[in-house]
Amino acid sequence: MNDGLVILLVEDDDVAAEAVERSLRKSGIDTPVVHAANGAVALEILRSTTPPRRGPMITLLDLNMPRMNGFEFLREVRSDPALSSLVVFVLTTSDAEMDRTRAYAEHVAGYMVKSAIGPQFSRLASLLGEYAKSVVLP
């Protein structure tokens, strides 16, 4: 894993968030996970000068959330010079081509449909583990 890596999980469903965190731990990924219930909370975390905002970060982003959804979050992040290089993977229930196209237009690193990434998010943990070992993050 990248030294100091933090995973920001932007997910309004507590059960899904816990399943992702459990899957990461079960896969031996000991990276800290910071949970934000929506895009607005995630932006507060990202714009904070206190931890966990130090070092490289991977964001797992749900699209359908109250207050500030995933697309609104992406628009804010991509228009903020301090955050525009943030690595974002979409993790959603939406398999709609329109949503995938829109997400990739916002330069996401990947688009994953929750139902397709295996029981208990096992493929997600595997992907993140290999990704973090293979790339140099901003």
Residue 42 is predicted with a pLDDT of 95
Residue 51: both structure tokens together: 């931890």
Residue with the two structure tokens 């330069």: 107
Class of residue 121 by CB neighbours under 10 A (exposed 0-12, middle 13-18, buried 19+): buried
Q: Which domains does the chain possess?
A: 6-133 (3.40.50.2300)
Answer for the pair 90, 73: CB distance below 8 angstroms, yes or no. no
Interatomic CA distance for residues 29 and 24, integer angstroms: 5
Interatomic CA distance for residues 65 and 54, integer angstroms: 26
Residue 116 is predicted with a pLDDT of 84
Q: pTM here?
A: 0.90
What parts of the chain have a pLDDT lower than 70? 1-3, 49-55, 119-120
Residue 51 is predicted with a pLDDT of 59
Residue 64 is predicted with a pLDDT of 93
